[in-house]
């Protein structure tokens, strides 16, 4: 059965204090992609998804959602939004592709990689929360797309936490938006081809 719609969810922390931090790279890049697809993908607007007010862009093929939850507790909302999306669109799990977009400390700034859904979370609390709340339906198509944010020289937990929650400088945000947006679009095209062939 072919994929009829693709649900793309960006991970990040809500609120003005965290919107422009490295940990919110998933949402930043998803927004950049929406801007690149302005001819076919509507602007983000606040709507109810997963029982929460969510920044959403619902187009003819893609549904872009920006997680409205604190990273560590994203999973419950994500599971609700996924199930709601199936019901509201009259889809079976096999007809919905699901893509989770998240930041990645192990890649250079703006580098985009397709990751297997079941691949290790490598300590990412948002991915851990999603995995704890939702088991991927074997009938469905699932993937993660990681967005490189680089990492601090110091590897201890406190330094890493401070880094991911730090404000992104203007030049770094420009790299994320340009490279990340184009990379995410290419990743979605690759996933569509792979899913249609399977």
Which residues are marked as active site?
23
Q: Are strands 52-58 and 45-49 parallel, antiparallel or unpaired?
A: antiparallel
CA distances from 186 to 20, 50, 58, 143, 172 (A): 24, 28, 19, 14, 21
Q: Pick the closest to residue 133 from 64, 74, 69, 70 (CA basis).
A: 74
């Amino acid at each position: 059965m072919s994929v009829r719609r693709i649900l793309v969810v960006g991970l990040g922390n809500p609120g003005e204090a965290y919107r422009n931090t490295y940990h919110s790279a998933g949402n930043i890049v998803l927004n950049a992609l929406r801007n690149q697809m302005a001819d076919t993908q509507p602007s983000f607007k606040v709507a109810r998804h997963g029982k929460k007010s969510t920044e959403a862009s619902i187009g003819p093929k893609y549904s872009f959602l920006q997680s409205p939850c604190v990273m560590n507790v994203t999973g419950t909302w994500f599971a609700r939004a996924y199930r709601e999306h199936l019901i509201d669109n009259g889809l079976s799990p096999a007809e919905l592709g699901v893509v989770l977009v998240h930041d990645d400390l192990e890649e250079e700034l703006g580098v985009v990689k397709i990751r297997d859904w079941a691949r290790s979370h490598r300590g990412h609390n948002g991915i851990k929360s999603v995995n704890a709340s939702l088991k991927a339906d074997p009938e469905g198509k699932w993937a993660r797309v990681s967005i490189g944010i680089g990492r601090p020289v110091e590897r201890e937990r406190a330094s890493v936490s401070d880094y991911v929650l730090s404000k992104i400088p203007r030049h770094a945000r420009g790299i994320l938006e340009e490279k990340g947006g184009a990379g995410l679009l290419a990743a979605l095209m690759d996933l569509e081809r792979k899913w249609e062939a399977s």
